[in-house]
Amino acid sequence: MTVLWLLLFLIGGAFTVDVKIVQLGDSYSSGVGAVATRHEYDTVIPECWRSLHGRGGQYAEHLLVANNNNYNVTYVNGACSGAKSHDLLNANLVSQKWGLCPLQRKRNTAEVFYNRTRFKLKCNKYAVPQINYVDPATDLVLLTIGGNDALFSRLLSTCILGISIREARKCLEILEEARTTQVNYTETIKEALVEIWYKMGESGKIVVFQYPHLIQNYSRIWNDPRSGISIDGPQLVREFTEEGNHAYLVAAKELNTAMGVEFLTIYDKTMDIFAGHEPDPRKHSRNDDRWISEFERPIGSVYHPNQRGHSEWGAAVALQCVFGVNLF
């Protein structure tokens, strides 16, 4: 055996190690914002906006060329834009074609007329439970999750974008709702991570990435003249993001202790990497060096890492870690 290994080593000069990485989670993981146009995303479930060039794909690329190309890296993207904690173990409704489909779920199709032609639409389209992408050959699972449970898009529209004049009060209400539900969805995430780990086997490793700040460290006051409430939206959201990020650390400590194995790592450098590269909340100000998109194309990538963001994030992760995956 030893002789054979030595022989192989001498002849080949190198041997490869298989590494299977599975990407799960929400839009910050599927790769929203990572490519320039809509058609560059994976077309199997277009609603998920999966790209091979997001943070996870970039990390896999770096690993591929690391160590004299000795890692044979397989990267599978099962993340989905809009995914919540529940979708890690359950089928995820990705499309309802709102406005066209009947509310009752029984009828799963709707008919539309377009260009004098009748089309049948499938109303309710599901992505499989994300855990289905994981198997015993999986060495590493990467994900971001919890942002949609924490009402990401509503916080964005009310606390940061301040679309209507009465958003100040609404922002406070949504923050309160998000904080109230946090205990619940954190439990859902914890249960799911343990299930995922069981499916990988004991040597499996899971990395949950903390989120970046959505907005630069400046103030912007929103006034609600009716109620007399005024808030500093950006700072409220920053505080809340930090609380959320901290909750992952607490959860990981608890789970690793409970399992007796350090299977779960929280990647806690995300905020540092993006610091100063978030959009500028001040009136008439713009951060030209932002790695988080505002309203540029592709549409739908609003407040997600842009191409630069994904590549810097992936490169930084690759420089720092292999997350204890047993590569040899």
Ligand X SMILES: *[C@@H]1O[C@H](CO)[C@@H](O)[C@H](O)[C@H]1NC(C)=O
180 lies in the site for ligand X, by CB under 6 A? yes
Min dist CB 12 to ligand X, Å, is: 11
User: Which span sits near ligand X by CB under 6 A: 3-11, 178-186, 200-208, 243-251?
Assistant: 178-186
Region binding ligand X by CB under 6 A among candidate stretches 138-146, 147-155, 165-173, 176-184: 176-184
Which tokens belong to 172? Answer: 């406070």
The candidate with the shortest Cα–Cα distance to 23, out of 61, 62, 52, 65, is 52
CB 58, min distance to ligand X, A: 19
Residue ranges in 195-254 that form contacts with ligand X under rule CB under 6 A: 217
Residues near 80 by beta carbon (within 8 Å), at least 6 away in sequence = 26, 27, 30, 45, 47, 48, 49, 50, 87, 92, 94, 127, 130
Q: Does 18 bind ligand X (CB under 6 A)?
A: yes
List the beta bridge partners of residue 22.
76, 141
Which residue, 153 or 217, is less far from ligand X as judged by CB?
217
Going by DSSP bridges, is the β-strand pair 221-224/229-232 parallel, antiparallel, or unpaired?
antiparallel
Residues 270-299 that bind ligand X (CB under 6 A): none
Of 83 and 127, the one with the shorter C-beta distance to ligand X is 83
Using CB under 6 A as the binding rule, whether residue 184 contacts ligand X is answered as: yes
What is the nearest approach in angstroms of ligand X to the Cβ of residue 17?
A: 9
Torsion of CA 44, 49, 50, 53, to 10 degrees: 140
CB of 74 to ligand X, least distance (A): 5
- Would you give the DSSP letter of residue 296? P
Residue 142: which H helix or E strand, with range?
strand 140-144
| 210 DSSP assignment | P
Does 181 contact ligand X by CB under 6 A? yes
Can you give the binding site for ligand X, defined by CB under 6 A?
16, 18, 72, 74, 115, 180-181, 184, 217
